Amino acid sequence: MPHIYTRNTEKELRQSLRAEMPSAESVLWSKLRRRQLLGCKFRRQYSVGTYVVDFYCAELRLAIELDGDSHYESGAQARDKERERFIKSFGIDFLRFRNVEVFEQLNEVLDSIARTALKHPKPPCSPPLSKGGRSSSSMPRG
């Protein structure tokens, strides 16, 4: 079976996308990084085949994509559907949000991601432990 995840052929593209993250991605990344959401490890700009998704959690097999203005240009929605179909063909769940949702309804976006994580057949990711041995975070906070 060919290697489909984080292939070297997309490495430069992933690095470039990380360096030039749109503001909506930066906002969401600030809430997903360091296992802040249910202890799940998210990666940003993760490739599946030749496609790069904005965020990916391997434990949940969950891809998250944020749609800015370019996703509403002519032909973009057909390309997005093909991309989503390809990614889902590997058993990966796919969530899509508009940039404006991240800016205006961040708590709802985080709640939606958390609900999807909690529906996963395996238990949710392990929350990180604080120095006192207690879980430092479980549900998203605004």
Q: Give residue-wise pLDDT tens across range 16-40.
A: 555 668 999 999 999 999 999 999 9
pTM of the model: 0.78
Radius of gyration of the chain measured on its C-alpha atoms: 15
* Residue that has been written with the tokens 């509403």 in this structure: 72
Distance between CA atoms of 139 and 142, rounded to whole angstroms?
10
What is the Cβ-side half-sphere exposure of residue 99, based on CA atoms within 13 angstroms?
12
Structural domains in the chain, CATH included, are: 8-118 (3.40.960.10)
**Residue 88 or residue 17, greater confidence:** 88
